Amino acid sequence: MATPRNTTNSVECWGTYETVLHGPEIGNPFVDIKISAEFRFKHRAVEVDGFYDGSGIYRVRFMPDTVGGWTYLTKSNVPELDGKSGRFICITPTQRNHGPVQVRNTFHFDYADGTHYFPIGTTCYAWAHQGDELEEQTLKTLRSSPFNKVRMCVFPKDYPYNKVNPQYYPFERDATGSNDYTRFCPAFFQHFEMRVGDLMELGIEADLILFHPYDRWGYDGMSSEVNDRYLRYVVARLSAYRNVWWSMANEFDFCRSKSMEDWDHLFRVVQESDPYQHLRSIHNGVLIYDHSKPWVTHASIQSSDFSRIQEWRQTYRKPIIYDEVQYEGNIPEDFGDISAQELVRRFWEGTAAGAYVGHGETYLHPLDILWWSKGVVLHGQSPSRIAFLRKILENGPPEGLNPILSQICSWRNTTNRVAGKEGEYYLYYLGLHQPAEVKFTLAPNVLYTVEVIDTWEKTITPVEGKFQGAFTIKLPCKPYLAICIRKLDQGKPV
């Protein structure tokens, strides 16, 4: 198992410290036995739940956020697990560990160590249920991809192109396939958390989808009591992984067994169980959830309509991620048949309007191995362009791009088309427009440099000269261009 464990008595900051305890195997420990621990750093105490991992083994995991000496003391309703104490040292993290991602500057993200994080997500719903061979190929593909977040389901998925049985099931099942919802299957979760750990090693956030409607095993129709216990178990097992995000559901409005009140309740269960307050969202089918609710950290949107971004930014005051804008591919289903050009256009449209956009790929495959669901291999032409966009974001203002609402062009409606930082940085995406020239009006007496970006050809062409006030930029007559304007600061672009 690749699960990160402390083999010495030290753990890096935002790593996973785990204490292993041995206790009863009789009865149903998943239901009967409570185990938790209070972790202390100086006068601060954090209480975290542990979990039963089968075979009499109980684990309590903890993700320390401060370098120095920590202690812990367990609590349980059985004596063997109660009152166990210990201490460990939290050490400086390795260079690739920046901590968990959190919201910053209202509409953006960073890691806990202050490193900026621009989400460039992809979707592989069921990649972690495909068996080791395919899963390891997926990890290999991800390693050289631009993606720093993966949307993935905890439960197995039943859907067109996703009909194979998983290797593991989350609950014990009898010979007829009937679930015992009182008994989790440790092997399932051990495997699943290994894959979450693999993503962590790659520096990729795991946007974990906790419920979804694509089901033939019963997981979409569990009782409220089982749902709550499942959530608490998942949180106890996985919240000490720094790369975890909680997505309450995929297409929540297509889950017929749960009402809006149920979703609100399930959100609160996660919110109160997670000691680290990982990011929380919920992904829609056709009905947009009210993302202004306090337990939502950012909006997770299925839509290709970017015209509502300003409204949502103002209403929610949270980051807006369009994590499903249809996928590059050629399947008969219309959510998965857009061209690479069109997907890349949508990435830029969303970015220029002040949101973040996610990727997916759905090319027909003789064995039904589609990236969007099973991962394995990317076939499309969009990822290299998305990598190019990511580079541009990372070279832009570190605090992220916000919509520019001032009128910077004569005779052009730039609403939803220019993002950046007023006075300093403007990224203007032209999309399907192909003017021979664009006339800008910026501040007089401030010098700017200008680059013409071909978002499809992945070229950045500096325009000769320095610009101020009113000026005109000539363009080749072609689609998918952007113009980047940067303030010169003491002779150098900002």
**Which window, 31-39, 245-253, 290-298, 324-332, contacts a copy of itself (CB under 8 A)?**
324-332
What gap in Å lies between CA 51 and CA 337, rounded to an integer?
43
**Which window, 17-25, 192-200, 449-457, 471-479, contacts a copy of itself (CB under 8 A)?**
471-479
Positions in 134-173 near a copy of itself (CB under 8 A): 160
Nearest distance, CB of residue 478 and a copy of itself, angstroms: 8
Q: Does the footprint of a copy of itself cover residue 339 (CB under 8 A)? A: yes
- Longest Cα separation, the chain: 79
In the chain, the amino acid numbered 156 is: P
Instruction: Tell me whether residue 173 is exposed, middle or buried, using C-beta atoms within 10 angstroms of its C-beta: 0 to 12, 13 to 18, 19 or more.
Output: middle
Q: Does the footprint of a copy of itself cover residue 424 (CB under 8 A)? A: no
Among residues 53, 337, 422, 454, which is the contact residue for a copy of itself, using CB under 8 A?
Answer: 337
Could you tell me the CA-to-CA distances from 330 to 141, 285, 308, 340, 473 in Å, in that order? 21, 21, 28, 10, 37
Cβ of 379: how many Cβ atoms within 10 Å?
16
Q: Does the footprint of a copy of itself cover residue 479 (CB under 8 A)? A: yes
Nearest distance, CB of residue 469 and a copy of itself, angstroms: 16
Nearest distance, CB of residue 476 and a copy of itself, angstroms: 10
Positions in 29-88 near a copy of itself (CB under 8 A): none
Q: Does the footprint of a copy of itself cover residue 175 (CB under 8 A)? A: no
**Which window, 95-103, 277-285, 377-385, 405-413, contacts a copy of itself (CB under 8 A)?**
405-413
Among residues 66, 330, 441, 459, which is the contact residue for a copy of itself, using CB under 8 A?
Answer: 330
Q: How many residues sit in the footprint of a copy of itself (CB under 8 A)?
A: 28
Among residues 42, 294, 366, 411, which is the contact residue for a copy of itself, using CB under 8 A?
Answer: 411
The DSSP element (H or E) to which 271 belongs, if any, is helix 260-273
Q: Which is nearer to a copy of itself, 331 or 494 (CB)?
A: 331
SS3 call for 308: helix
Could you tell me the CA-to-CA distances from 412 to 20, 50, 77, 403 in Å, in that order? 63, 58, 68, 15
Quote the tokens at residue 410.
């004569």
Is residue 147 within 8 Å of residue 121, measured between CB atoms?
Answer: yes
Q: Which of 392, 373, 301, 388 is nearest to 340 (CA)?
A: 388
List residues bridging with 152 in a β-sheet.
Answer: 208
Nearest distance, CB of residue 437 and a copy of itself, angstroms: 5
Task: Give the x/- contact pattern for a copy of itself in 349-378, rule: CB under 8 A.
Answer: ---------------x--------------
CA dihedral over 305, 205, 428, 416, signed as positive or negative: positive
Quote the tokens at residue 412.
């052009």
Among residues 7, 413, 445, 490, which is the contact residue for a copy of itself, using CB under 8 A?
Answer: 413
**Which window, 5-13, 42-50, 334-342, 365-373, contacts a copy of itself (CB under 8 A)?**
334-342
**Which window, 103-111, 337-345, 378-386, 454-462, contacts a copy of itself (CB under 8 A)?**
337-345
Task: Give the x/- contact pattern for a copy of itself in 427-456, rule: CB under 8 A.
Answer: -----xxxxxxxx-----------------
Nearest distance, CB of residue 485 and a copy of itself, angstroms: 16
Nearest distance, CB of residue 25 and a copy of itself, angstroms: 48
Is residue 113 within 8 Å of residue 93, measured between CB atoms?
Answer: yes
Is residue 284 within 8 Å of residue 252, measured between CB atoms?
Answer: yes
**Which window, 137-145, 178-186, 199-207, 409-417, contacts a copy of itself (CB under 8 A)?**
409-417
Q: Which is nearer to a copy of itself, 165 or 330 (CB)?
A: 330
Instruction: Tell me whether residue 91 is exposed, middle or buried, using C-beta atoms within 10 angstroms of its C-beta: 0 to 12, 13 to 18, 19 or more.
Output: middle
**Which window, 14-22, 24-32, 117-125, 329-337, contacts a copy of itself (CB under 8 A)?**
329-337
Q: Which is nearer to a copy of itself, 317 or 433 (CB)?
A: 433
**Which window, 28-36, 102-110, 384-392, 410-418, contacts a copy of itself (CB under 8 A)?**
410-418
Count CA atoms closer than 13 A to 22's CA, side-chain side: 1
Q: Which of 390, 391, 420, 399 is nearest to 120 (CA)?
A: 390
CA dihedral over 195, 200, 201, 203, signed as positive or negative: positive
Q: Does the footprint of a copy of itself cover residue 331 (CB under 8 A)? A: yes
Q: Which is nearer to a copy of itself, 41 or 335 (CB)?
A: 335
Nearest distance, CB of residue 472 and a copy of itself, angstroms: 7
Which conformational region is residue 195 in: left (phi greater than 0), alpha (psi within -120 to 50 degrees), or beta?
Answer: alpha
Could you tell me the CA-to-CA distances from 490 to 342, 420, 448, 487, 493 in Å, in that order? 39, 20, 11, 10, 8
Binding site for a copy of itself (CB under 8 A): 160, 330-335, 337-339, 342, 364, 409-413, 432-439, 472, 477, 479
